Amino acid sequence: MILDGVSVDFTIGTVFRSRKIRVLDSIALDIYEGETLGVVGESGSGKTTLGKTAAGLIRPSTGRVIYKGTDVWSIKGDEWRIFRREVQMIHQDPYSSLNPAHTVRTILTRPIVKHRIARGSDAEELAIKLLRRVGLTPPEDFLDKYPHQLSGGQRQRVAIARAISMKPRLIIADEPVSMIDVSLRAGILRLLAELREELRMSLLYITHDLATLRYIGAKGRTAVMYLGKLVELAPTEELIEKPLHPYTQLLLEALPEPDPRVTRSKRLKELKELDIPSIANPPPGCRFHTRCPLAIKGVCDMIVPEMKEVSRDHFVACHLY
Amino acid sequence: MTMANTLLSIKGLEVVYIAPKGVVKALRDINLEIYEGETLSIVGESGSGKTTLLLSIMRLLPPNSRIIKGSIALKAENGWIDLTGLDENSMRRVRWSKVALVSQAAMNAFNPVLRIKDHFIETARAHMDKFDRELILREARELLKLVMLEPERVLNSYPHQLSGGMKQRTLIALSLLLKPKLILMDEPTSALDVVSQKIILGVLRDLKGKIGSTIILVTHDLGIAAEIADRIAIMYAGKVVEVGSVDKIFYEPLHPYTKALLRAVPRVRFFSEIEAIPGEPPDLINPPSGCSFHPRCPLSMEICKREEPPMIEIEPRRPVACWLHAKR
Amino acid sequence: MIGGRVSQRYSKALRNTLRILSRDRAGLVGLIIVLFFISLGTIGAMVVNYDPKGNPEEIYMPPSLKHPLGTDFQGRDVLAQIIYGTPSVLQVAFLAGALTTLIAVLAGFAAGFLGGRVDATIMGIADFILTIPQIPLFAVLSALIRFSDVSFLAILIASVSWPPLARAIRSQVLSIKEKEFIEVSRILGFNVSEIVFIEIMPNIMPYIAVNLVFASMNAIYAQVSLAYLGLVPFIGENWGIMLNRAWTFGAIFYEKSLFYIMAPIAAIVILQTGLILLSRAMEAIFNPRIRAE
């Protein structure tokens, strides 16, 4: 999938007085087959919007979302149905991603039947197989349950089962474990990693937690977002070992590690400003310049930096390079 | 390190919630000592009872819950006060002036029709017999600066004009206004971005020394605990299973749950294989017999299923509740 | 095969309904009361004899075996009047209730789901109707229109009762629309009608079912009040008409006519009580979360 110069504007306000806010600005990102692409950003960075745009839920105001060579918003009919099947999403909140009025059976079999993957009792057989694969055993016990009878981790597994029932080529996972208990996260992450290998899917993993990203995306690339723009893109390991963009460096220094010696030795560089600017009124030039300790007056506050390849496969949007 | 004195002593605390499905045993026999000047981080997952513990100390439990046993003794000028035995009026005098609470719920308690500066003034008025308005406002400005907020702007704002992160920081400043001896915090950085979080945790670390407060910080995030705690108490299924200094807990954990928890958390700095803890968190209406961790414990023995392990101090101030360490 | 699964689902639904009613005594009582009135209106009307001409010798007689609730000012049997009035009361009630709910559901869904100008238009109409004082409206309409059909009254009542319910349904639709499982349905390629009927509707069904009962109750009050105030030109024995006559012919001043007045009032109160009790069970019947307990 290619996000080519994608920008997304949201309109806020009432029918009579509205304003446009550019939530994503000129995103250019490629997602390759079979790779795990991490997207890291804090709340307000636009990462969730990026995920929804890639999933075809939000139409970009400028730019195109290209899947397998065609613009996603110009395909119809069978091609559209294929796109809808092959790109799936897993949400952050297991409590609202399952319809509370449906049983697990309904939740799993309806999409299977809709996409003509199986019918009737075959669909139910498939649902049982899927439940077993995601670790919900004995599967028959789960079919008649309603979401409110399941724990958060179990619901998330049902959501995963639903996604893989479509045999997707790309799964967009938006903070899939942030609402799950810490001790159970590894299970869900491991499940995603296994399924990724088995089904040879691409995974777009959106999060603010670099630690879980490192675990699941170690072999892939990661993009860092700030206030609606991409600021750095590199292989995950390299991004974490040798971050180039000051924001990425800041993020890595600030992340608390479950290791007292490591986390207390991390010192934050002096920040000019603590508050993150509003996305409605982004700073001119490089959006990070208001907080960047290395900002160059006259350059960073006026000119928007372009993404440049600084070393092999490592892109940064920063005037320092 | 000199042996600090005990500030808060919790003994045998049991708290239940009455839910439609049954009686939830949220806290089962909690015994914990908190020493003056320390930062104790209580770490646990959902259902461990950590939030209930804070609410019990502040006596802010919801109407469907009860403290059925135990004592919470706070050291005061002239002896000990048992917080569980206080009536509402006395408790109100304790709250905020001696014990402050910073939590998600408290953030919603900002009065929407009062400006922030009025919040500071009202808080002072409620707890001090005489107060100098100017002095309070000066204090407020200092505190707001400490949490990296613009004092004038924030003081003149209404709560709805502040972002979640700003409100959370304002609440922290407000909690420090009366220089309470004990500050309880429940995920105090949840609304903050990662950078603010690191800075505020640093501020808290430095500040408590200056004010002489003791902090109990409840979190599920081991990273936050590693960042700020002097000692850590690990809770599971309504009980405290292990307590120790931050180094001891992270580098020499004793309880199997602690060890499993450390194995389940991924790290950024280096790739580590993480392992989930098998099974599900226990049902607190019908907790497992014996040690409540035994269904998920890789080292469980016969006795673990039958009897609850006692809390035993392996070393001074290093209690563990596990049969593996009880044979002493 | 499909027929088999459908009938399986219905029998399961029936079993669940009976199970809930057996546990919720109040709901069961409610159902019994409502069924009682229905049978009163259907079978009763056929079985009981009623002589509209009356018997001047039997004016305002106290209850007896022949006249269990006494007689009215013309010697007519009160109980028979109640029974004969039941069909029209029920007809208007359920017809108006169903129409109100239907219009409110259509309007609320359209406004909530489609948003934008459709939403603004529908809510504008709703607000407008809410501002019209209803009794004077009926007074005017009844002066202008001669209607003798029960259905017309039902339509009239429905046309002014739907706005509040529509508003409520609209809010529900709005809040559900934002939930992530709706987004998932979009990603899975479900079309609009599938999303509306299969994803959203089951979540609102309990609310709709309960409000159907409420709408019927409102319709009963509406029609009885209108009849009592003489705003509805009627033939027949609607309970409201009975009250109207009681008032007009001075029955309230006479102690012997107590039953004549109390009978329709009691009938109204008992029926409404039955409906309220039934509404409580409706929530449980239609809500899968409660049903599964």
Chains that touch B (3 or more CB pairs under 8 A): A
Mutation target among A73, A96, A204 for the C interface, most CBs of C within 10 A: A96
Residue B276 to residue A183, Cβ atoms within 8 A? yes
Q: Distance between CA atoms of C21 and C18, rounded to whole angstroms?
A: 5
Share of chain B above pLDDT 70, in %: 98
pLDDT (tens digit per residue) in B23-43 = 999 998 899 999 988 999 999
- Cβ contacts of A179 within 8 Å, gap of 6 or more: A92, A93, A94, A95, A152
Q: Which two tokens stand for residue C113?
A: 């789901």
| Residues 250 through 279 of chain A touching chain B, CB cutoff 8 Å | 250-260, 262-264, 266, 268, 271, 274-276
Maximum alpha-carbon separation in chain C: 78
B164 against B158, higher pLDDT: B158
The phi-psi region of residue A200 (left if phi > 0; otherwise alpha if psi is between -120 and 50; otherwise beta) is left
Work out the pLDDT band at C8, boundaries 50, 70, 90. low
Query: Which residues of chain B make contact with A211, given a CB cutoff of 8 A?
Result: 223, 265-268
Residue B250 to residue A257, Cβ atoms within 8 A? no
Q: Which of B144-148, C50-54, C124-128 has the lowest mean pLDDT?
A: C50-54
Q: Which two tokens stand for residue B152?
A: 């004038």
Mean pLDDT across C94-123: 90
Q: Where are the beta strands (DSSP E) in chain B?
A: 6-19, 22-35, 39-43, 65-76, 79-82, 99-102, 182-186, 214-219, 231-236, 239-245, 311-315, 318-321
- Cβ contacts of C255 within 8 Å, gap of 6 or more: none
**pLDDT for residue C1 is more than 50:** no
Query: Which residues of chain A make contact with B166, given a CB cutoff of 8 A?
Result: 275
Residue A100 to residue C198, Cβ atoms within 8 A? no
pLDDT (tens digit per residue) in B191-238 = 888 888 888 888 888 877 777 789 999 999 999 999 899 999 999 999
The string over A154-191, giving b where at least 16 C-beta atoms fall within 10 Å of a residue's C-beta and e elsewhere, is: bbbbbbbbbbbbbebbbbbbbbbbebbbbbbbbbbbbb
Q: Could you tell me whether strands A202-207 and A221-226 are parallel, antiparallel, or unpaired per DSSP bridges?
A: unpaired
- Cβ contacts of A257 within 8 Å, gap of 6 or more: A211, A263, A266, B223, B226, B267, B268, B269
Q: Nearest-CA residue of chain C relative to A103?
A: C288
Mean pLDDT across B294-319: 86
Q: Which two tokens stand for residue B128?
A: 């001090």
**pLDDT for residue B328 is more than 50:** no
Q: Could you tell me whether strands B311-315 and B318-321 are parallel, antiparallel, or unpaired per DSSP bridges?
A: antiparallel
Chains that touch C (3 or more CB pairs under 8 A): A
Q: Which two tokens stand for residue A189?
A: 């992450």
Strand partners, B17: B24, B65
CA of A291 vs chain C CAs: smallest distance (Å): 34
Q: How far is residue A257 CA from its own chain's centroid?
A: 22
Q: Between A and C, how many residue pairs show a Cβ–Cβ distance under 8 A?
A: 63
Q: Where are the beta strands (DSSP E) in B210-252?
A: 214-219, 231-236, 239-245
CA of A155 vs chain C CAs: smallest distance (Å): 12
Q: How far is residue A28 CA from its own chain's centroid?
A: 15
The phi-psi region of residue B141 (left if phi > 0; otherwise alpha if psi is between -120 and 50; otherwise beta) is alpha
Give the three-state DSSP class for B133.
Answer: helix
Mean pLDDT across C271-282: 86
Q: Distance between CA atoms of A123 and A115, rounded to whole angstroms?
A: 11
Per-position DSSP letters for B182-205, written without gaps between them? EEEEESTTTTS-HHHHHHHHHHHH
pLDDT at B250: 92
Q: How far is residue B256 CA from its own chain's centroid?
A: 22
Q: Exposed, middle or buried, C177 (CB in 10 Å: 0-12/13-18/19+)?
A: middle
**pLDDT for residue C290 is more than 90:** no
Mean pLDDT across B244-267: 91
**pLDDT for residue A33 is more than 70:** yes
Residue whose C-alpha is closest to residue B140's, from B152, B130, B158, B129: B152
Measured CA distances, A28 to A42, A73, A223, A281, A305 (Å): 19, 17, 11, 22, 14
Work out the pLDDT band at B4, boundaries 50, 70, 90. low
Task: Map tokens 């392996």 to a residue.
Answer: B314
Q: Distance between CA atoms of B49 and B55, rounded to whole angstroms?
A: 10
Query: Which residues of chain B make contact with A274, given a CB cutoff of 8 A?
Result: 148, 195-196, 199
Mutation target among C119, C188, C205 for the A interface, most CBs of A within 10 A: C188
Residue A162 to residue C184, Cβ atoms within 8 A? yes
| Residues 95 through 134 of chain A touching chain C, CB cutoff 8 Å | 96-103, 110-111, 114-115, 120
Work out the pLDDT band at A12, boundaries 50, 70, 90. low
Mutation target among B198, B268, B275 for the A interface, most CBs of A within 10 A: B268
Query: Which residues of chain B make contact with A248, given a CB cutoff of 8 A?
Result: none
pLDDT (tens digit per residue) in C225-270 = 888 877 776 656 678 877 877 777 776 777 767 777 788 888 888 8
Residue whose C-alpha is closest to residue C240's, from A205, B328, C232, A189: C232
Query: Which residues of chain A make contact with B201, given a CB cutoff of 8 A?
Result: 256
ipTM of the complex: 0.83
Contact between B217 and B224 under an 8 Å Cβ cutoff? The reply is yes
CA of C203 vs chain A CAs: smallest distance (Å): 6
**Which chain B residues touch A if contact means CB-CB below 8 Å?**
45-46, 148, 166, 193-199, 201, 220-227, 246-247, 250, 260-262, 264-269, 271-272, 274-277, 280-281
pLDDT at C108: 92
Query: Who among B221, B250, B277 is closest to A183 (CB)?
Result: B277
Count Cβ atoms below 10 Å from residue C83 Cβ, excluding itself: 22
pLDDT at A11: 59
Q: Nearest-CA residue of chain C relative to A168?
A: C188
B59 against C238, higher pLDDT: B59
Angle at CA of residue A269, ends A267 and A270, nearest 5°: 125
Q: Distance between CA atoms of C73 and C86, rounded to whole angstroms?
A: 20
DSSP code of residue A94: T
pLDDT at A14: 52
Measured CA distances, B4 to A22, B36, B82, B273 (Å): 55, 6, 20, 39
Three-class SS of A9-51: EEEEECCCCEEEEEEEEEEEEECCCCCEEEEECCCCCCHHHHH
Interface residue A15 vs chain B (CB under 8 A)? no
Query: Which residues of chain A make contact with B266, given a CB cutoff of 8 A?
Result: 185-186, 189, 211-212, 214-215
Residue A146 to residue C187, Cβ atoms within 8 A? no
Give the three-state DSSP class for A63.
Answer: strand
Reported as type and span, the H/E element at residue A89 is: strand A87-90
Interface residue A182 vs chain B (CB under 8 A)? yes
C28 against B240, higher pLDDT: B240
Residue B194 to residue A260, Cβ atoms within 8 A? no
Per-position DSSP letters for chain C, written without gaps between them? -HHHHHHHHHHHHHHHHHHHHHH-HHHHHHHHHHHHHHHIIIIIHHHS---TT--GGGTTPPP-SSSTT-B-TTS-BHHHHHHHHHHHHHHHHHHHHHHHHHHHHHHHHIIIII-HHHHHHHHHHHHHHHHS-HHHHHHHHHHH-----HHHHHHHHHHHHHHHHHHHHHHHHHHHHTSHHHHHHHHTT--HHHIIIIIIHHHHHHHHHHHHHHHHHHHHHHHHHHHHTT-S---S--HHHHHHHHHHTTGGG-GGGHHHHHHHHHHHHHHHHHHHHHHHHHHHHH-HHHHT-
Work out the pLDDT band at B1, boundaries 50, 70, 90. very low
Share of chain A above pLDDT 70, in %: 94
Task: Map tokens 């999933």 to a residue.
Answer: A55
Q: Exposed, middle or buried, C221 (CB in 10 Å: 0-12/13-18/19+)?
A: middle
Q: Could you tell me whether strands B39-43 and B214-219 are parallel, antiparallel, or unpaired per DSSP bridges?
A: parallel
Residue A110 to residue C186, Cβ atoms within 8 A? no
Q: Distance between CA atoms of B261 and B242, rounded to whole angstroms?
A: 12
Residue C184 to residue A93, Cβ atoms within 8 A? no
Contact between B243 and B212 under an 8 Å Cβ cutoff? The reply is no
Residue whose C-alpha is closest to residue B110's, from B120, B119, B100: B119
Residue whose C-alpha is closest to residue A225's, from A33, A9, A37, A18: A37
Contact between A199 and A167 under an 8 Å Cβ cutoff? The reply is yes
Q: Exposed, middle or buried, B115 (CB in 10 Å: 0-12/13-18/19+)?
A: middle
Q: Distance between CA atoms of A245 and A316, rounded to whole angstroms?
A: 6
**pLDDT for residue B128 is more than 60:** yes
pLDDT (tens digit per residue) in A204-244 = 999 988 888 888 888 899 999 998 888 999 999 899 888 99
pLDDT at A158: 93
Give the three-state DSSP class for B269.
Answer: coil
Work out the pLDDT band at A6, boundaries 50, 70, 90. low
pLDDT (tens digit per residue) in C13-32 = 677 677 766 677 777 888 88
Query: Which residues of chain A make contact with B250, given a CB cutoff of 8 A?
Result: 258-260
Residue C203 to residue A100, Cβ atoms within 8 A? yes
Work out the pLDDT band at B94, boundaries 50, 70, 90. confident
**pLDDT for residue B267 is more than 70:** yes
Q: Distance between CA atoms of C79 and B198, rounded to whole angstroms?
A: 81
Residue B261 to residue A183, Cβ atoms within 8 A? yes
Mean pLDDT of chain A: 85
Mean pLDDT of chain C: 80
